[in-house]
Amino acid sequence: MDVLSAALATARTGSPASGLFVRHAPWGRAYPRIESAGFHIVLQGSCWLTRSDVDPIALGAGDVVFMPRGIAHELVDQLGAAITETAGPADIRFIDGPGPVATLLCGSYQLAADRTHPLLAELPEVVHIPARLGSHAALRAAVELLADELGSPRPGGDAAIPPLLELLLLYLLRAWFADAPHEMSGWAAAFADPGISAALRDMHENPAHGWTVESLGERAGLSRAAFAKRFTTMLGEPPLAYLTRWRMITAARLLRETDAPLAGVARRTGYGSEYAFGKAFKREFGTAPGQYRKTADDLLRAGV
């Protein structure tokens, strides 16, 4: 599993949600902070995204914004507009009025904070992907398909919408990392570096392997010292520290999603004994693997 796919697979929980909203000016809509990630796509018209003590962002047709940590914000038809509604369970989808119309595709993803991959944690509070002619065709296609399903309900819509939302999240993250300048540090730089990408893919595909800095450097086509320096400079932690982090993220997913015995989880994440695995897991998550699995099962039965 490649790094971006793995990061999303380990972070997602619950089901995504979305809806179409039509607003005629004047309007202003507040979005309180949520324990999930949110997004807005302007399908028609324009608006502004505003937050306290931060410069507003002008949004036009085709623009996408993603809030990976569910920050509080507002959407308004123009700067200074009064807030006339607050997002919530009883949302009104269509509001008429005398002014220009804006059509918005809005939604949220459940991303668990306790197992966020560093790739997602690195994202800014607001990921803004402006519409540009000829750019990010896959993202635009996903937006059009999703808008079509939500705007014209048809048989099979309940089956079509969730995977389209998953594709939307993948494509908007691809677009963000593709647009990021390659000279910057972090995951955008790592994706652009063939050697570091190869080493990351190997760690993700086989976390149980007894990787060393030297063997990972060989996969990257670099000496041990050069690989360690480049990896740490880009990603902010040494290769084996990241490997341990990925092993723990993988272990948490196995504990939540499978009934594999603890010894099996330990083997699949590179630990020779339950004791060594349990000690490493508790250091990372603050609880023993068995208790972590029980808590996850209890939350699942409670529908959380």
> Backbone phi, then psi, for 143, in 5-degree steps?
-60, -45
User: Residue 183 has what pLDDT?
Assistant: 47
User: Residue 184 has what pLDDT?
Assistant: 56
Q: Which two tokens stand for residue 89?
A: 């369970």
Exposure b/e, 5-40, CB count within 10 A at least 16 = b:
ebbbebbbbeebebebbbbbbebbbbbeeeebbbbb
Tell me the sheet residues that pair with 238.
none
Same domain (yes/no): 93, 144? yes
Supply the range of the domain harboring residue 289: 188-301
Give all strands of the β-sheet with 127-129 in edge-to-edge order: 94-95, 17-24, 101-109, 37-44, 64-67, 127-129
Question: For 13-65, how does the pLDDT look when each residue is reduced to its tens digit (9 = 90+)?
Answer: 677 888 999 999 999 999 999 888 999 999 999 999 999 989 999 999 999 99
Residues 6 or more apart whose CB falls under 8 angstroms from that of 7 comprise 117, 119, 120
Distance separating the N- and C-terminal Cα atoms of the chain: 27
The answer to whether residue 291 scores a pLDDT higher than 80 is: yes
Same domain (yes/no): 201, 245? yes
Percent of the chain with pLDDT over 90: 63
User: Residue 76 has what pLDDT?
Assistant: 97
Same domain (yes/no): 144, 83? yes
Specify the CATH number for the domain of residue 100. Answer: 2.60.120.280
Specify the CATH number for the domain of residue 212. Answer: 1.10.10.60
C-beta separation of 19 from 93 below 8 A: yes
Same domain (yes/no): 120, 221? no
Q: Which two tokens stand for residue 291?
A: 């208790």
Q: What is the mean pLDDT of residues 251-263?
A: 91
Residue at a domain's end among 125, 150, 179: 179
User: Residue 304 has what pLDDT?
Assistant: 54
User: Residue 2 has what pLDDT?
Assistant: 76
Same domain (yes/no): 60, 207? no
Instruction: State how far the Cα of 95 lies from the Cα of 102, in Å rounded to an integer.
Output: 10
Q: What is the mean pLDDT of residues 218-232?
A: 95
Identify the CA nearest to 129 among candidates 236, 40, 253, 248.
40
The answer to whether residue 301 scores a pLDDT higher than 90 is: no
Same domain (yes/no): 145, 233? no
Q: How far is CA 51 from CA 74, 76, 118, 157, 282, in A?
A: 6, 11, 25, 34, 37
pLDDT bin (cut points 50, 70, 90) of residue 303 is: low
Q: What is the mean pLDDT of residues 275-281?
A: 95
Identify the CA nearest to 164 among candidates 9, 43, 17, 11.
17
CA angle 65, 66, 68 (to 5 degrees): 160
Tell me the sheet residues that pair with 73.
31
Q: How far is CA 184 from CA 63, 180, 232, 235, in A?
A: 24, 8, 13, 11
The answer to whether residue 180 scores a pLDDT higher than 80 is: no
Place of tokens 């507009």: 81
Question: For 64-83, how does the pLDDT look when each residue is reduced to its tens digit (9 = 90+)?
Answer: 999 998 999 999 999 999 99
Same domain (yes/no): 170, 247? no
Residue at a domain's end among 138, 157, 179: 179
User: Residue 82 has what pLDDT?
Assistant: 95
Same domain (yes/no): 257, 228? yes
| 250 CB-contact burial (10 Å; exposed 0-12 / middle 13-18 / buried 19+) | buried
Q: What is the mean pLDDT of residues 140-166?
A: 90
E strand residue ranges, 84-126: 85-86, 94-95, 101-109
Same domain (yes/no): 275, 214? yes
Residue at a domain's end among 127, 150, 179: 179
Same domain (yes/no): 89, 157? yes
Structural domains counted in the chain: 2
Half-sphere exposure of 65 (CA within 13 A, CB side): 24
The answer to whether residue 182 scores a pLDDT higher than 70 is: no
Identify the CA nearest to 81 among candidates 41, 43, 24.
24
Q: What is the mean pLDDT of residues 112-140?
A: 83
Same domain (yes/no): 162, 42? yes
Q: What is the mean pLDDT of residues 196-203?
A: 93
As a whole number, the mean pLDDT across the chain is 89
The packing angle between helices 194-205 and 213-220, to 10°, is 130
User: Residue 23 has what pLDDT?
Assistant: 95
Same domain (yes/no): 69, 103? yes
